[in-house]
Amino acid sequence: MLAKETEEPFDDKDWIFETKWDGYRAIAELNKADVKLYSRNGNLFNAAYPEVIDALAQMAIDAVIDGEIVVMDEAGNPNFQLLQHYGEDRAHPIYYYVFDGLKINGQSVMQLPLLERKEKLRTLLKESDIIKYSDPIEEQGKAMFALAGEKNREGIMAKKADSRYLPGRRTANWLKIKYHKTMDAIIGGFTEPAGERKYFGALVLGLKQGDTLEYIGHTGSGFNASLLKKIYEQLQPLITFQSPFDERVKTNTPVTWVKPAIVCEVKFTEKTRDGKLRHPFL
């Protein structure tokens, strides 16, 4: 079951709200003889996260549960970069935050309302140093979103309290609300459009560091047709054959370089360890 995205947090007595963990979504199939942990796309995670497998096996339950694999940094915040490199560096703690159940004690509970599923899950789940129950709050989405920002979390999940579990489907009964940071970035180029899109595909973004322009990412999100046209027209007099970046910039389509004269405000979720923006958009 997948969530749609919305921009603004809200309060509603018919909804519950949970932390949006910045990790890998994972479905665990457990019985007393075996444990299998799958990615959202059906890839087996067992070899990648043996600590999680061992912790799940120790619960000795018959269930199918849904959750997120997370690695925490020194400040206790979920860190997607550390998770991506967990195979090379296991110095940071790993967790499996469980937020839903598909089967409990061998019986499907997917047709039960979400709050009933979570209550059965809470009763069944045996928490440990690695296995954690993702505890929701009811109604107070705005307060939880503000807390997510204070704790440097990625955002929150909003879920209809009576929603049924729909495997593989993206539904408006589950919503993800991301907490975005903002910064001013310099446009250093634009890529060719693809398909029916006009004017450009993405803006190539940089940040001034002394006398150089450091590449921080590119974004093709957040534009409507009129904004695409407006930005494209503003960039035409600035076109140059020379890249304004010292480093080689990798993009999926050819780039037209421009003189670094236009600044835009960019939203993003976080910076990677090498200074690139995650999920940037205008």
Residue 71 sits in a domain whose CATH number is 3.30.470.30
- pLDDT at 62 (0 to 100): 95
Does residue 82 sit in the same domain as residue 157? yes
Does residue 267 sit in the same domain as residue 149? no
The answer on pLDDT for 113 being more than 90 is yes
- pLDDT at 16 (0 to 100): 98
The domain boundary, picked from 157, 178, 199, lies at 178
Does residue 130 sit in the same domain as residue 254? no
Does residue 227 sit in the same domain as residue 114? no
Does residue 126 sit in the same domain as residue 234? no
What is the extent of the structural domain holding 150? Answer: 2-178
The answer on pLDDT for 131 being more than 90 is yes
- pLDDT at 157 (0 to 100): 97
Q: What is the dihedral of CA 139, 141, 143, 144, to 10 degrees?
A: 110
Does residue 143 sit in the same domain as residue 262? no
For range 52-58, the mean pLDDT? 96
The domain boundary, picked from 121, 144, 178, lies at 178
Does residue 162 sit in the same domain as residue 189? no
Angle at 69 between CA 175 and CA 170, to 5 degrees: 30
- pLDDT at 178 (0 to 100): 87
Does residue 74 sit in the same domain as residue 160? yes
Backbone angles phi, psi at 191, to 5 degrees: -100, 165
150 — pLDDT class (breaks 50, 70, 90): confident
Q: List the single range of 186-190, 197-201, 212-216, 266-270 with lowest mean pLDDT.
A: 266-270
Does residue 172 sit in the same domain as residue 194? no
Catalytic residues: 20
Residues 6+ apart with CB under 8 A from 150: none
Domain count, the chain: 2
Per mean pLDDT, which of 52-66, 80-94, 266-280 is the most reliable? 52-66
The answer on pLDDT for 130 being more than 90 is yes
Structure tokens at 192: 């060719």
Say how far apart CA 157 and CA 5 lie, in whole Å: 9
Does residue 166 sit in the same domain as residue 186? no
Structure tokens at 6: 């919305």
The domain boundary, picked from 149, 178, 207, lies at 178
Q: List the single range of 2-6, 35-39, 222-226 with lowest mean pLDDT.
A: 222-226
Does residue 70 sit in the same domain as residue 185? no
For range 95-109, the mean pLDDT? 97
Look up the pTM and report it. 0.75
For range 154-165, the mean pLDDT? 96
User: Tens digit of pLDDT for each residue in 194-221?
Assistant: 888 999 999 999 999 888 999 999 999 8
> What's 231's domain CATH number?
2.40.50.140
Residue percentage of the chain with pLDDT more than 70: 100
Task: Please indicate whether residue 253 or residue 49 has the higher confidence score (pLDDT).
Answer: 49
The answer on pLDDT for 226 being more than 90 is no
Backbone angles phi, psi at 58, to 5 degrees: -70, -20
- pLDDT at 190 (0 to 100): 96
- pLDDT at 55 (0 to 100): 97
For range 161-166, the mean pLDDT? 98
Does residue 194 sit in the same domain as residue 242? yes
Q: What is the DSSP letter of 272?
A: -
Residue percentage of the chain with pLDDT more than 90: 72
